Structure 1
Amino acid sequence: MSGFKLSADQVELYHQQGYVVVKNFCSAQEIDKLYATALDDSAMKNNALDLNDQSGKKTKLSLWFTPGNDVFGYLTRSEKMVNSVQQLLGDKAKVCHFHSKLMQKEPKVGGAWEWHQDYGYWYKNQFMFPDELLSVMIALTPAYKENGCLQVIKNSHKIGRVNHGFSGEQVGADMQMVDNALKTMELVYSELEPGDALFFHSNLLHRSEANLSDHPRWSIISCYSLQSNLAYNETSTSWHTPVNVVPDEAILEWESESLSNADFLKKENDPALKETGWEQEVNNENS
């Protein structure tokens, strides 16, 4: 079993403020291998989605569901990852992997992500229990204010789900509620070094600026759910399949397959990007 375990203080912090940063969650050697794979595996490029922000800048991501025998699959299935998620979500049911995505913010051209909650998207997948969902961001390159690091509103997960509408090609939170949250709670820039992990609740409000710097900002975000959570509008199967856990050393030591075997998301199949009618009543304009 992995020797890694979140401290009681880290678990408490996650529940209190909606997120927790774990420094050096991945080693430099692990990050080197993950980043090299992200750059070199043609499946990542061939399955990347472009989503326009409000200004027309493009943010690029590749999203897949079932974690396989590739290096990213070994990361998302690793003992340290699954055990940490289990600590934060509780032990009422087994941990399942909903999806992972590679976020690619290139220098000068990488677009912004509007204010949103992950559950603002996953509500359309009809997941029933937002407290049984979380995301884990692993920085593959430095993430600073200058290159568009993630911004979070501390404690905003306690608001519950905020209505979401379309903002460019993205799904964004109602800006009136976001503005209210910013008046009430603290805005935090989550600056990360490569290998740092940010665990955050599905209802935490977060965004990121466009990358106008000379440096890329790449990260992998893996999203998890408990098997006790139900999704009534999700066609993939990984969300209710317990993770087949592998030892941490698999990331560096096991032979890795190409991501060409992964079940990537196609843009036209994403429920979050489909109109349901009520989105038109939501104000997504930044004031």
Structure 2
Amino acid sequence: MRNIFNKAEISRIRSAFGNPNGVMKHQYKIPSGGGRDITLSLWNNPGDDVTGMVARSEKIVNICENLLGGELFHFHAKAILKEPSVGGQFVWHQDYGYWYKQGFPYPDMMTVSIAVDENTKENGCLQVLRGSHKCGRLDHGFYEGEQMADPARISKLKEKLQLEYIELNQGDAVFFHSNLLHSSGNNTSSKQRLAYAIAYSAAYNDALAKHPFAYYNPIQKVADSAIAECENEEDLTGKVFLNPKNDVTVRVKPE
């Protein structure tokens, strides 16, 4: 969806992620191969700061409810930062390849990825195999610090399915199913690439295994106007930030 966030909203969102006392103070790095890293900050519970207003906004939540076919809950949200020239890749994977290992019984889940910065081929934009969400869950294993879908199966699917580069302007967003095969390249440009990705699950899809985030909690929706009106960037009350050392699906870069 193009221009789902107007200039005032995206300016507020950029400011929140640029605040060193905001959500990015909880950032960590995972290795992505070739000596490159990806910087992440991941949390549960939207909270009442600017990032929470986005995740609770009617225009985002209502679209996701329509796509998933009913009530949902906020699983997690994360900032994905690729530094200029050195930011790393995400190898081919399905989000449900991660989330299955975290105990979710059904793939009735989705992600909204918001372009906080312009997303281009040069700075490592999203790549997808169109229609691959219909292929079912593929086996995943570790590649560096990430989960990677079966490369032999990916190779065959690339012969059948259309590869698309999802280039986005600031304020655009892409909505996709948890079984969609996707990746993103290295940032070879002089500009950073920051995406704000919000994951939602169908309300009935509580995890079978113990997980700090994976349980139903009703979303308290807010009017779209709350995004630009919110001035809170640093009070993160209610958010629960992930300690990546407790996540079985990633390997953190040694400090």
**From 145, 161, 174, the counterpart of 2:150:** 174
- AA at the equivalent of 1:124: K
Counterpart of 2:88 in 1: which secondary structure?
coil
| 2:129 aligned to which of 153, 157, 175 | 153
5 Å-filtered alignment, 1:176-191, equals 176-191=152-167
CA distance in 2, matches of 1:141, 1:117: 23
Superposed CA offset, 1:140-179 (max 9, x none): 1110111110000000111100100000111111100111
Q: TM-score, normalised by structure 1?
A: 0.84
For the residues of structure 1 that align with 2:8 and 2:215, how far apart are their CA atoms?
29
Cα distance 1:204–1:267, how it changes in 2: closer, same or farther (>3 A)?
same
Unaligned runs of 5+ in 2: none
Q: Report if aligned partners of 2:19, 2:233 keep a CA contact under 8 Å in 1.
A: no
When the two chains are superposed, the root-mean-square deviation of aligned CA atoms in Å is 1.4
2:115 matched to 1:136?
no
Greater share of residues in helix? 1
Counterpart of 2:39 (choices 44, 48, 60) is 60
Shift of 1:227: 1.0
Partner AA of 1:120 in structure 2: G
The 8 Å contact of residues 139 and 194 in structure 1, kept in 2 or not, is answered as: yes
Provide runs of 4+ in structure 1 moved above 6 Å.
Answer: none
1:187 maps to amino acid: L
Deviation at residue 42 of structure 1 after TM alignment: 2.3
Q: How big is the shift at 1:37?
A: 1.1
Given the alignment, which residue of 1, 4, 7 partners 1:28? 7
Query: Unpaired segments of 5 or more residues in structure 1?
Result: 1-21, 275-287
Q: Retained in 2: the 8 A contact 1:56–1:168? A: no
Contact 2:23/2:234 (8 A) holds in 1: no
1:235 to 187, 202, 211: 211
- For residue 257 of structure 1, report the CA deviation from its aligned partner: 5.0
User: In structure 2, what is the Cα distance between the partners aligned to 1:234 and 1:150?
Assistant: 30
Is residue 16–residue 22 contact of structure 2 (8 Å, CA) maintained in 1? no
Report the TM-score when normalising by structure 2. 0.94
How many equivalent pairs are there?
250
Which has the larger displacement, 36-45 or 75-84?
36-45
Deviations 1:63-90 (A, max 9, x none): 0001000000000001111100001000
Write the letter of the residue equivalent to 1:241. N
Amino acid at match of 1:103: I
Matched, 1:264 2:246: no
Confirm or deny that 1:119 pairs with 2:96. Answer: yes
Residue 214 of structure 1: SS of its match in structure 2? Answer: coil
Q: Distance in 2 between matches of 1:90 and 1:48?
A: 33
CA shift in 2, pair 1:118/1:234, >3 Å = farther
1:202 maps to amino acid: S
Per the alignment, residue 201 of structure 2 pairs with 225
Q: How far is the alpha carbon of 1:244 from its aligned partner?
A: 0.8
